[in-house]
Amino acid sequence: MRRSGPPRTLLVTALLVGALGLAGAATAQSAVVVHDGEELVLDAAPGQPIEGHATLEPGSTVEVTVQSESPKSPFLTRSEATVTEDGRFEVTVDLENLGQGIPMSVTVRHDGEVLTREEARIAGCGSDCETATFDRQGDRLTLQAGPGQAITGNTSLEEGAPVTIRLESTNPEQPFLVAKETTVTDEGAFATFLDVSDVEPGSSFRAVVLHDGDQLKETTGRVVACDGKCGPVTTQTPTPTPTLDPDEFGFKSIVEVTDEETAYVPVTLGDADAATLVVGSKDVNYVVNATVRDGNGDDRVGVLFDAAAAGTDGRTLTVANESDELTVTDPEPDLGDSIDPADYDTRLYEGDTATGKPDDVGVLVVRESGPGDGDQPALEKSVLRTSPGDVASLPIHLGSEYAAVVTIGSDADNYGIAARVTDGDGDDRVVLRFRTDNAGTDRPTLDVEGTDDDLTITDPEPSLDGPLPPTEYDIALYPGQKAANDPVSIGTLSVGSGSDGPRTAVLDDSQAGDRGIDLGGVGALAAGAVFAVVGVGLLLGLFRS
């Protein structure tokens, strides 16, 4: 039963205002970002409001930073707000060009000190991103444990575009994976039929819509017992528009993907019963072999290569259509991490073995995720997280520039350093390393990976009395030989303290008992007084009513 009580926002305000009055001598300050649920959800639209409360004097200024946590979608904006008499602050941000599902962070600062940091995500979709929706009844998909289970929906894609519908168990004790490719029909609609007759009733799963390796939509679902009317369907499932001649033996010879995406490799069998695909070679310290067979009579097999799982204990190779078969014949090595961005040779052999001369050859190009594909210099990571004692690596794409200047920190952070990096091996990139333990000492804080690239300190760092304070430091990248005009790329160096970091009050009844409200350093005596005053106030309110 939901307990009655004062509005949640008013309760947080009372607590924070009480803390100001009773802990007046306390120097530590804190803030909360107001939202419902476990995270802040923003729409991909202009004028998105972000509200909060702070234990600051009325008239104080707070800086609110909204930043993307995805290297594929860099974004950062800062806004200032004035704390009102009741401790509130509010800013509005323009998010109309961001895509759906992008993870974000919202950081509130005062005089350079981080008051709180909150996770957020984009719920809506900008005008230039592709979207998809599932047709469902209720808040999740429900499928019966039988063949021919229909899944339908809509997308923003053009007619004829291929999409893959993939179901994956969310219960490790009941694992299963089902995927099938279909094509978008009139007005962006899609429909497919999946066989989940081998799935245990009660199993939960996540369902996603994939297009060109990008995830357009994700939702959750559950498999229930068959009601006796879940036999095979006669409805014709749409088939993908072929890009290769299915009467010829071969595959798509050049496939590009980033190290965080899934590549789609179409294979056509012609008259062959099977084909063996080999990805990689001994030269790159990575090889995986798999034999595929057509299961639905279209002489085609769509192979999915998950670059993020390659080299780990995850599942790298699957088929897009559940009717087709894929058997890994030569397992990949366990590298302990995903494969490096590089060009990986691909070879296709007719039959179930990779012997003799391949019938077709190609290459799988794995690129590092991030903005570093054009001529403009850019930080390949917008958020760089590290801890005391660690070395943080920051890859920088130089593009057509021979050199660039990187600045870390600012006057507001009471720490700053600047360096010019130079590409010496012609690969248009430099990896800068930041040694946290050396910051503010006479030992070198910055260096570069590789012997050919070069680094020159252009603005030395100040001497520090102790370790580098755990907080977030601005990163800016300037093209050329000096830090002039506006930076072409910006980011954040987040130095942790080894603890869980600042906590944020979540305005949700289910979380209130677990997390409570973090008063950010206000002493235990002051905190007790706050709750005492609030308790008296609530009792007086009850007596009055």
Burial call 120-138: b when 16+ CB within 10 Å, e when fewer: bebebbbeebbbbebebee
In 10 A of CB 261, how many CB atoms? 21
Asked if 350 and 359 count as a contact pair (C-beta separation under 8 A), the reply is yes
Residues 6 or more apart whose CB falls under 8 angstroms from that of 233 comprise: 147, 148, 150, 193
Give yes or no: residues 254 and 356 share one domain. Answer: yes
Q: Cα-flanking dihedrals φ and ψ of residue 93, to 5°?
A: -130, 150
In three-state secondary structure terms, 161 is coil
pLDDT at 242: 40
Of the candidates 463, 480, 495, which is a domain's last residue? 495
Closest of 71, 74, 70, 78 to residue 50, by C-alpha:
78
Q: Is 429 helix (H, G, I), strand (E, B) or coil?
A: strand
**C-alpha–C-alpha distance, residues 36 and 7, integer Å:** 12
* Residues 337 and 360 both lie in one domain: yes
Instruction: Specify the number of domains making up the chain.
Output: 4
Closest CA to 166 of 223, 209, 213: 209
263 plus 352 within the same structural domain: yes
User: Looking at residue 418, what is its pLDDT?
Assistant: 93
Q: Are 366 and 342 in contact (CB under 8 A)?
A: yes
Of 495, 515, 533, the domain-final residue: 495
Cα–Cα distance, 48 to 347 (Å, whole number):
50
Same domain? 323 vs 387 = no
Cα dihedral value 67, 69, 71, 74, nearest 10 = -20
One domain, residues 72 and 170: no
Residue 319 contacts residue 290 (beta carbons within 8 Å)? no
Among 347, 367, 387, which residue terminates a domain? 367
Check whether residue 422 and residue 504 sit in a common domain. Answer: no
Q: Is 436 helix (H, G, I), strand (E, B) or coil?
A: helix
Beta bridge partners of 91: 50
Does residue 255 share a domain with residue 348? Answer: yes
Report CA-CA distances (Å) from 19 to 23, 519, 535.
Answer: 5, 8, 14
Q: In this structure, is residue 1 part of a structural domain?
A: no
From the CB of residue 216, how many other CB atoms can be counted at a distance below 10 Å? 23
Please give the Cα distance from 64 to 314 (Å, whole number).
Answer: 38
Q: Is residue 237 part of a domain?
A: no
Residues 30, 116 within the same domain: yes
Query: What is the CATH number for 64?
Result: 2.60.40.1930
CA distance 193 to 201: 18
Is residue 106 domain-resident? yes
Torsion of CA 138, 140, 146, 148, to 10 degrees: 80
Q: CA 427 to CA 90: how far, in whole Å?
A: 45
CATH number at residue 306: 2.60.40
* Position 525 in a domain: yes
Q: What is the dihedral of CA 210, 214, 216, 220, to 10 degrees?
A: 60
The end-to-end CA distance of the chain, in Å, is 22
Are 521 and 445 contained in the same domain?
Answer: no
- CA 343 – CA 347 distance, rounded (Å): 13
Whether residue 239 lies inside any domain: the answer is no
CATH number for the domain that contains residue 180: 2.60.40.10
Q: Tell me the three-class secondary structure of 501-531, residue by residue.
A: CCCCCCCCHHHHHHHCCCCCCCCHHHHHHHH
Residue type, 175: P
Identify whether 387 is part of a domain: yes
Residues 120 and 137 both lie in one domain: no
The CA distance from 277 to 265, in Å, is: 10
Q: Hey, which residues does 275 pair with through a beta bridge?
A: 292, 350
Question: Which structural domain, as residue segments, surrounds residue 283?
Answer: 250-367
| Ordered per-residue pLDDT tens for the chain, 545 residues | 333 333 333 333 434 444 444 444 445 688 999 887 777 888 777 778 899 999 999 999 999 999 888 765 677 888 899 999 889 899 988 886 676 677 889 999 999 889 999 888 887 654 455 677 888 665 578 888 887 788 888 887 877 788 889 888 888 777 888 888 888 876 678 888 888 888 888 888 988 888 877 777 888 888 988 876 565 543 344 333 344 678 889 998 778 777 777 787 889 999 999 999 999 988 888 999 999 999 888 888 888 888 888 888 878 898 877 778 999 988 888 887 878 888 899 999 999 999 899 999 888 888 776 544 446 788 877 677 888 888 999 999 887 777 889 999 988 788 999 999 988 877 888 999 999 999 999 899 999 987 788 888 989 999 999 899 988 888 989 888 788 777 888 888 888 875 433 332 333 333 333 333 333 343 443 444 444 434 434 433 433 33
Query: Amino acid identity, residue 449?
Result: E
- Three-state SS for 37? coil
487 and 432 co-located in one domain:
yes
Sequence-ordered list of residues with C-beta below 8 angstroms from that of 443, at least 6 positions apart, any chain: 435, 437
User: Within a domain: residue 357?
Assistant: yes
Which tokens belong to 265?
């490799």
What gap in Å lies between CA 314 and CA 329, rounded to an integer? Answer: 16
Question: Do 317 and 255 fall within a single domain?
Answer: yes
Please report whether residue 447 resides in a domain. yes
360-367 and 254-258 beta bridge pairing = parallel
